Amino acid sequence: MACACRIVAETLDLIEGMIERGIQTRELDLAAEAHIEGRGARPAFKGYRGYPATLCISVNDQVVHGIPGPLRLKEGDLVSVDVGVVCDGFYGDAAGSYLVGQGTDETRRLLQVTRDALEVGIGEAVPGKRVSDISHAIQTVVESNGFSVVRDFVGHGIGRSLHEDPQIPNYGDPGKGALLKPGMTLAIEPMVNAGGSGVRILADRWTAVTLDGRASAHFEHTVAVTENGPRILTRV
Ligand code: MF3
Ligand code: CO
């Protein structure tokens, strides 16, 4: 998993460096695929339930699962990039959100709060805590900053498959769900809306967008629970 996750981290770094006004999202996708294959690994999303690309690229009111295509990024766009890699049968999964240019006060704050929520959630990924301690910590950070967590998608266990038990919602009461133990590997992934939590799926059957048309951000890491605390495998 460390190998798959390292390639995930490299890919996100590469794409972050390419994000600029005028680039097409499919150019980002092709660069990501070339990088992953150059490292001897495979994109994990391509072909998963028929998903057609290496990356999910979700712009502005798109929440997750945006399909790369001819869209050109423009000044002020909020771009969420999600990447999964499989290497020797093990999976890694991470996401980040980036601004084209400076953004607005609101989009900058949305990114910071979502990043903070992920960090605080990861901080709960320690032996003896329960899954919903992660959920509750994320929800608290998000809502205390006036934003809302998406409820229609959740984080997940990850390892020999992209999605394993347990599901990790980004909301809930603390102290519930599976007990966290050393060796568990989790994809923790807050999706945060500037406005309401509602989402709908576009006619392409993948792209999730906010109901109110306001912006959404997404950060994700694959994390191992260890005796020494959380180990963030997708940060290298
Ligand atoms: N990070 C997302 C997840 O873990 C991405 C899945 S995209 C899909 O569910 F195409 F693979 F479904
Ligand atoms: Co995931």
Per residue in 28-75, pLDDT tens?
999 999 999 999 999 999 999 999 999 999 999 999 999 999 999 999
- Quick one: which atom of ligand 1 is closest to the CA of 48? 11
Domain ranges of the chain: 2-232
> Distance (Å, rounded) from C-alpha 102 to C-alpha 78?
10
> Distance (Å, rounded) from C-alpha 47 to C-alpha 190?
24
Is residue 59 within 6 Å of ligand 1 at its C-beta?
Answer: no
pLDDT reported for residue 124: 98
The average pLDDT across 208-216 equals 99
Whether the pTM exceeds 0.85: the reply is yes
Answer yes or no: are the C-beta atoms of 118 and 190 closer than 8 Å: yes
Ligand nearest to C-alpha 63: 1
Strand partners, 78: 99
Output the CA–CA distances (angstroms, integers) from residue 46 to 27, 32, 190, in the order listed: 16, 12, 22
How many whole angstroms from 213 Cα to the centroid of ligand 1? 22
> Distance (Å, rounded) from C-alpha 71 to C-alpha 116?
29
pLDDT reported for residue 156: 98
Say whether pLDDT at 236 is over 90: no
- Is residue 174 within a helix (H) or strand (E), and if so which, with residue range? none
pLDDT reported for residue 55: 99
Name the residue with tokens 């009461």.
Answer: 173
- Quick one: which atom of ligand 1 is closest to the CA of 158? 4
When pLDDT is cut at 50, 70 and 90, the band that residue 23 belongs to is very high
The average pLDDT across 179-193 equals 99
- Quick one: which atom of ligand 1 is closest to the CA of 82? 1
Output the CA–CA distances (angstroms, integers) from residue 234 to 22, 26, 39, 96, 143, in the order listed: 28, 23, 16, 11, 26
In 3D, which of 226, 228, 196 has the Cα closest to residue 209?
196
In 3D, which of 133, 152, 156, 155 has the Cα closest to residue 193?
152
Which residue CA neighbors atom 2 of ligand 1 most closely?
A: 82
Number of Cβ atoms within 10 Å of the Cβ of 29: 24
Domain 2-232: homologous superfamily in CATH: Creatinase/methionine aminopeptidase superfamily (3.90.230.10)
Q: Side chain identity at 87, as an amino acid letter?
A: C
Ligand nearest to C-alpha 48: 1
Answer yes or no: are the C-beta atoms of 118 and 38 closer than 8 Å: no
How many whole angstroms from 65 Cα to the centroid of ligand 1? 7
Task: For 11-75, give the DSSP string.
Answer: HHHHHHHH--TT-BHHHHHHHHHHHHHHTT-EESSTTGGG---SEEEEETTEEE-PPP-SPBP-T
Is residue 52 within 6 Å of ligand 1 at its C-beta?
Answer: no
How many whole angstroms from 174 Cα to the centroid of ligand 2? 21
Strand partners, 85: 43, 92
Is residue 99 within 6 Å of ligand 1 at its C-beta?
Answer: no
Name the residue with tokens 């980004």.
Answer: 170
